[in-house]
């Protein structure tokens, strides 16, 4: 095993980064190196290096690294305190990423895998349409804009240095340990609160953490991954109503969903200043990962039902033991 088998994972304490580290530890032939702002409590042996995306001068040693999986990012901030949100996202997600990538190219890193976002494509798809990797990007919020601008800069570095850049754009990622809105959905379902979401006929793509990590592992060495942009999902798309029913079944509780017509729900949400939330709940966002599967000879290894069950079981064990 050579030093160039070392895989540096940034954001190693985060939801995606920690899952990548766990998978790499189980894989033969790879040595994971965790890069994060603070030390990670790790029961087993795990090499750790400090990396602060918000401070470009704090870079990990890269001379012995073969591949970087860059999962660190400034993500959505529920209560934004920055006076210029876009500038702050750019400072971290663009400038921090560029600083790391340039250092990686100078150190001889072979491949830089960037975990981007499907929001680079846009916020929603029209009925019967799917996002593709070759679509004209249409990022709308500061987070998505920063991810797109980072992608552009990485392609420039790739052209200038020859370091292979792989871009992965996942939709909503769920799995054991998930937080944010997905965790909130499980909490509300367990409480038995009625939800006015029983008649939402939209269509949304999701990706389980195990499927996303499996794709990341597939791109570590695959020659067809070089220079590619890959969309990913579970391969099964659900309406919001179907997702809530599936989650409730996984939690072994009834889904108390009221069939409120979508126009009424959207109008009420708008009056309450919750139009953006209604858009996410009622709008469609579907990805086409045909090119991903064909290029990498890859299919999602974990069924969506199994992924939702694992997510629910973990939540019940840790949040409602």
Asked if pLDDT for residue 134 goes beyond 50, the answer is yes
Note whether residue 88 is domain-resident.
Answer: yes
Question: How far is residue 311's CA from residue 253's CA, in Å, rounded to a whole number?
Answer: 15
What are the tens digits of pLDDT across the range 78-90?
Answer: 455 667 889 999 9
pLDDT for 43: 61
Average pLDDT of the chain is: 91
Residue 139 is part of which domain span? 3-169
Catalytic residue among 30, 143, 148, 174: 143
Q: What CA–CA distances, in Å, run from 254 to 127, 195, 244, 311?
A: 29, 12, 10, 17
Question: How far is residue 52's CA from residue 59's CA, in Å, rounded to a whole number?
Answer: 7
Asked if pLDDT for residue 5 goes beyond 90, the answer is no
Q: Which of 233, 224, 182 lies closest to 76 in space, CA to CA?
A: 182
Note whether residue 214 is domain-resident.
Answer: no
Asked if pLDDT for residue 4 goes beyond 70, the answer is no
CATH number of the domain residue 75 falls in: 3.40.50.720
What are the tens digits of pLDDT across the range 174-201?
Answer: 999 998 889 999 999 999 999 999 999 9
Contact yes or no for 83/136 (Cβ under 8 A): no
Q: What CA–CA distances, in Å, run from 88 to 75, 76, 101, 231, 277?
A: 11, 12, 19, 26, 23
Asked about 315 being catalytic, the answer comes back as no
Number of residues assigned to the chain: 321
Note whether residue 260 is domain-resident.
Answer: no
* Least confident segment among 16-25, 127-136, 262-271, 308-317: 262-271
Asked if pLDDT for residue 1 goes beyond 50, the answer is no
Asked if pLDDT for residue 296 goes beyond 70, the answer is yes
Note whether residue 85 is domain-resident.
Answer: yes
Q: How many domains does the chain have?
A: 1
pLDDT for 263: 84
When pLDDT is averaged across residues 313-318 and rounded to a whole number, the result is 93
Q: What CA–CA distances, in Å, run from 317 to 141, 173, 307?
A: 35, 20, 15
Asked if pLDDT for residue 272 goes beyond 90, the answer is no
Cβ-based burial of 25 (10 A; exposed 0-12, middle 13-18, buried ≥19): middle
Q: What CA–CA distances, in Å, run from 170 to 32, 119, 191, 195, 263?
A: 22, 9, 30, 27, 29
When pLDDT is averaged across residues 84-103 and rounded to a whole number, the result is 94
Note whether residue 310 is domain-resident.
Answer: no
Q: Which of 227, 203, 169, 181 lies closest to 283 in space, CA to CA?
A: 203
Note whether residue 245 is domain-resident.
Answer: no
Reported as a pLDDT band with limits 50, 70 and 90, residue 54 is: confident
Asked if pLDDT for residue 321 goes beyond 70, the answer is no
When pLDDT is averaged across residues 209-225 and rounded to a whole number, the result is 97
When pLDDT is averaged across residues 260-277 and rounded to a whole number, the result is 79
Q: Which of 192, 90, 226 lies closest to 146 in space, CA to CA?
A: 90
Note whether residue 237 is domain-resident.
Answer: no
Of 31-40, 176-185, 296-305, which one has max mean pLDDT? 296-305
Asked if pLDDT for residue 17 goes beyond 80, the answer is yes
Contact yes or no for 155/217 (Cβ under 8 A): no
Note whether residue 122 is domain-resident.
Answer: yes
Q: Which of 96, 100, 141, 95 lies closest to 117 in space, CA to CA?
A: 141
pLDDT for 269: 74
What are the tens digits of pLDDT across the range 228-241?
Answer: 999 999 999 999 99
């Amino acid at each position: 095993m050579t030093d160039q088998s070392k895989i540096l994972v940034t954001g190693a304490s985060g939801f995606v980064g920690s899952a990548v580290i766990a998978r790499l530890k189980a894989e033969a032939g790879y040595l994971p190196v965790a890069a994060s702002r603070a030390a990670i409590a790790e029961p087993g042996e795990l090499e750790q290096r400090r990396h602060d995306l918000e401070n470009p001068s704090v870079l990990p040693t890269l001379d012995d690294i073969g591949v970087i999986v860059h999962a660190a990012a400034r993500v959505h901030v529920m209560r934004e305190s920055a006076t210029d949100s876009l500038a702050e996202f750019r400072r971290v997600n663009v400038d921090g990423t560029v600083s790391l990538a340039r250092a990686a190219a100078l150190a001889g890193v072979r491949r830089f895998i960037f975990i981007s976002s499907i929001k680079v494509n846009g916020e929603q798809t029209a009925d019967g349409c799917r996002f593709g990797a070759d679509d004209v990007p249409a990022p709308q919020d500061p987070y998505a804009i920063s991810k797109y601008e980072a992608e552009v800069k990485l392609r420039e570095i790739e052209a200038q240095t020859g370091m292979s850049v792989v871009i992965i754009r996942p939709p909503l990622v769920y799995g054991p340990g998930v937080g944010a809105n997905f965790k909130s959905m499980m909490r509300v379902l367990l409480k038995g609160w009625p939800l006015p979401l029983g008649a939402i006929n939209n269509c949304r793509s999701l990706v389980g953490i195990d499927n996303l990590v499996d794709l990341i592992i597939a791109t570590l060495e695959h020659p067809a991954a070089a220079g590619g942009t890959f969309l990913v999902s579970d391969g099964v798309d659900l309406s919001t109503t179907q997702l809530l029913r599936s989650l409730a079944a996984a939690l072994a509780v009834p889904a108390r969903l009221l069939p409120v017509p979508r126009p009424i729900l959207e109008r009420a949400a708008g009056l309450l200043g919750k139009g953006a939330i209604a858009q996410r709940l009622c709008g469609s966002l579907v990805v086409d990962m045909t090119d991903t599967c064909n290029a990498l000879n890859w299919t999602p290894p974990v069924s969506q039902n199994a992924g939702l069950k694992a997510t629910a079981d973990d939540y019940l064990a840790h949040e409602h033991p």
